[in-house]
Amino acid sequence: MNNVIELRDINKYYFMKSMKLHALKDINIDIPQGEFLMIMGKSGSGKTTLMNILGFLDRFDSGTYTFNGKDVTNLSENEKSELRNAYIGFIFQQFHLIESLTIGQNVELPLLYKGNVSIKERNKLVEKYLDIVGLLDKKNRKPSELSGGQQQRIAIARALINDPYVIFADEPTGALDSATGTEIMELLTKLNKENKTIIMVTHDEDLKKYASKIIHIKDGLVAEVN
Ligand SMILES: Nc1ncnc2c1ncn2[C@@H]1O[C@H](COP(=O)(O)OP(=O)(O)OP(=O)(O)O)[C@@H](O)[C@H]1O
Ligand SMILES: [Mg+2]
């Protein structure tokens, strides 16, 4: 088993009133285990649409999707959310932390969705991953008490806590200044060196150097692979 993800001839349409938009056109992608893939392209080219399909957050209209050796083209919504909880970690541009929860409780959330993890084990894992992102001392604070870069590191700890096969990051540095963005990229690089597969969307040409492969999307087509 070496490809975590294989897409074959994926097409995606958005239907709006009388309009039909062909958002992804015959997309073929193989993503091996351990890749640091960047998806680049202009605004509106289809990057988020592609990420949402890869992350089982959205459906597609034709083609086949193989995840970790399993054909996942026709899974039910329930089966997809199970796969998502078990194998995928998400990082977003705006962090998406829950302000009414402490940092520790935010990081713990995926384990609660997963179920069947004892309080003791949950605590141990929360502390392990807060330590990995260097923020164990913030465990009982609230998200708004942290800087943007710290909040994104918390979001990364949350994405990691289920030990996912793949981490999806949609513009993870988009809301950060460039020095803080660099810290986040260095953290992602470290995780990638430990063999985590990372799939990241970015506009930022300066981040290309962190990628092991770059896919350029143009008008819903894979225009170039480097
Ligand atoms: N839910 C939706 N309904 C209808 N059209 C949509 C929807 N989401 C995206 N689109 C359209 O599909 C195309 C691709 O959008 P997508 O969000 O994937 O682009 P993107 O590359 O992520 O852009 P950005 O860099 O601005 O985030 C765009 O033309 C967009 O307007
Ligand atoms: Mg987008």
Q: pLDDT tens, 54-90?
A: 999 999 999 999 999 999 999 999 999 989 988 999 9
CA 204 → CA 49, 70, 102, 153, 171, distances in Å? 18, 33, 31, 19, 9
Average pLDDT on 18-26 reads 95
Ligand 1 centre distance from Cα of residue 14 (Å): 9
Q: pLDDT tens, 137-164?
A: 999 999 999 999 999 999 999 999 999 9
> Which amino acid is it at 26?
D
CB 146 within 8 A of CB 176: no
Minimum-distance ligand 1 atom for the alpha carbon of 41 = 21
Which residues have C-beta atoms less than 6 Å from ligand 1?
Answer: 14, 16, 21, 23, 41, 43-49
Residue nearest to ligand 1 atom 4, measured at CA: 14
Mean pLDDT over all residues of the chain? Answer: 94
Ligand 2 centre distance from Cα of residue 116 (Å): 34
Q: At residue 1, does pLDDT exceed 80?
A: no
**Least distant ligand from the CA of 92:** 2
pTM (two decimals): 0.92
> How much is the pLDDT for 170?
93
**Least distant ligand from the CA of 44:** 1
| Greater pLDDT, 2 or 55 | 55
**Least distant ligand from the CA of 203:** 1
Going by pLDDT thresholds of 50, 70 and 90, the confidence category of residue 8 is very high
